[in-house]
Amino acid sequence: MRIWLLGTEGRLAKMARHLNKFGHDVFFSGPGCPGTERHASRIKFDLKELDFQKMRQLASDHAIDLAVPGSEDLLDQGIVNEFEGVCRVFGPTREAVKLETDKRFSYEIMTNVKIPQAFTRWYENFHIAYGDLKSHFDNFDLPLVIKPQGPTAGKGVIVAHDLATGKKALKDMLVDHKYKEASRMIGLADYLTGSECTVFVLSDGHEDSIRFFAAARDCKAAWPAKDGKPAGPNTGGMWGLSSIPEWDEFLYEEVMGYARNVIRLMRRMRHPFRGCLYISLKLVPMEDLPRLVTPTVVEFNGRFGDPEAQATFERLESDLAPILWACTESGKLNSVEIKMSDRVGGCLVIAAPGYPESSQKGGKITGTEEAEALGVEVEHCGTKLNDANELVVDGGRVLNLNASDANVEALRDKLNRAAACIHFEGGQHWRNDFGDPSVAS
């Protein structure tokens, strides 16, 4: 199969390696990331242009069978709709991806089918939102979650532990429009306690044929809580783990029921959801029976999550291509093979100094070969070659270290030893608490 990966982020770099291993012709487009060229051929195109006419021509010229977009922007702009008749695209249509790109829409969908979620109030006016925020902190010693209605590449959510933090977030979003149209409306949501969990469910648009893919976990805070200061700030993810020890038959039945209800409603709305439904959960302890949990939905995405996808692909023993293909048409997904290893998969992100606020670019990178000698795959997601043909930093989340092992402890040791081999000129940052559920968020 001829497959075009639209982007250079970590999940697509790992996907390129996997697809290449199974003998597929893999292509990619996107900036930098010379490491990806070990597994895929570059199709030169600036994805920021969003020129669908040119993209359709490129797909035709290269006889592409299947395109896989990495960003929510491409899905939100309707690449699935625009590529109809040219090639298959793994992912939801412009209308269906609103489950990810419109947080109020997804909130209302979940309310409609009675899925447990955090109670959320929605605002367009700063003064009204601030009044309710102040009232909350005047009466309760509990955080509030502030989230833009629209897409922010996983970086827009703020957990406000005090009034000052909350007020700044409201001003950034509703007054200064930090995220432009995405923050014209914001939600104030109750803060959920409990461990975090991500579930990937594959769909061909019909609720009777959905398939469980994996349960995983990631850590989004750039650094841990320390000396009374909260963890943070939020990132796109600093490590990803697949699978998780809490996952059992009860959680499987509950969460698959959530997915089935959502897919059914979207189909009945004539916007069938095809692709990967990413379900972010909090496993909230029950008040009377704290040893039991209620899986409560935080959000939906319309794509594989990063870095949980890399951790999951590390365990995938089946060929991914027919799985992706089966999601693009009804009636095929039930019969495709999805086989996972019993080993634990992991992805550790090595970030640039200053990430996520203002990443320092240009620093020379060394030590990747030494890291790979320890049995770790090094994938590039924020690198380029400078004029001297040296590998340098060109993004925030720069490298992914992917590996698997028999258990979390052994995998943590392997990833940390590999990370210690790598050096960025000017410094680098990673979290050394891989797999710890107490820091996942």
pLDDT tens digit at each of 441 positions of the chain: 999 999 988 999 999 999 999 999 999 998 878 888 899 999 999 888 889 999 999 999 999 999 999 989 999 999 999 999 999 999 999 999 999 999 999 999 999 999 999 999 999 999 999 999 999 999 999 999 999 999 887 778 999 999 999 999 999 999 999 999 999 999 999 999 998 999 999 999 999 999 999 999 999 888 887 776 667 788 889 999 998 999 999 999 999 999 999 999 999 999 999 999 999 999 998 876 666 789 999 999 999 999 999 999 999 999 999 999 999 998 889 999 999 999 999 999 999 999 988 889 999 999 999 999 999 999 999 999 999 999 999 999 999 999 999 999 999 999 999 999 999 999 999 999 999 988 776
DSSP annotation of 48: G
The H or E element containing residue 137 is helix 126-139
Specify the residue for token string 């309760």.
140
> Tell me, what's the pLDDT at 347?
98
153 Rama sector, left if φ>0, alpha if ψ -120 to 50, beta otherwise: left
Alpha carbons within 13 angstroms on the beta-carbon side of residue 163 total 11
Q: Which of 311, 304, 212, 223 minimizes the C-alpha distance to 259?
A: 212
Our CA dihedral for 351, 356, 357, 362, rounded to 10 degrees, sits at 30
> Tell me, what's the pLDDT at 321?
98
Annotated domain spans of the chain: 2-94, 125-184, 193-335, 344-424
> Tell me, what's the pLDDT at 230?
66
- Listing DSSP states for 345-382 in one string gives EEEEEEE-TTTTTSPPP--BEE-HHHHHTTT-EEEESS
Strand pairing category for 2-6 and 25-29: parallel
How many residues make up the chain in this entry? 441
Fold of 2-94: Rossmann fold (3.40.50)
What Cα–Cα distance (Å) separates residue 345 from each residue in 98, 189, 309, 373?
A: 30, 32, 10, 18
Query: Rounded to the nearest 10 degrees, what angle do helices 126-139 and 163-170 cross at?
Result: 170
- Listing DSSP states for 383-400 in one string gives EEE-TTS-EEE-SSEEEE
What Cα–Cα distance (Å) separates residue 320 from each residue in 6, 134, 283, 316?
A: 16, 49, 29, 8
Reading the block at residue 217, the tokens are 């976990």
Which residues, including other chains, have CB under 8 Å from residue 217's CB and lie 6 or more apart?
Answer: 195, 196, 197, 198, 240, 241, 242, 244, 308, 435, 437, 440
Which CATH entry fits the domain spanning 344-424: 3.40.50.300, 3.90.600.10, 3.90.1150.10, 2.40.220.10?
Answer: 3.90.600.10
Which residues, including other chains, have CB under 8 Å from residue 63's CB and lie 6 or more apart?
Answer: 2
Fold of 193-335: D-amino Acid Aminotransferase; Chain A, domain 1 (3.30.470)
Contact 234, 220 (CB under 8 A): yes
Contact 27, 2 (CB under 8 A): yes
> Tell me, what's the pLDDT at 115?
98
Contact 414, 170 (CB under 8 A): no
Q: How many CB atoms lie within 10 A of CB 105?
A: 14
Q: Which of 193, 194, 185 minimizes the C-alpha distance to 146?
A: 185
DSSP annotation of 407: S
Specify the residue for token string 């990803």.
240
DSSP annotation of 316: B
Report, in angstroms and rounded to the nearest whole number, the Rg of the chain calculated over CA atoms.
21
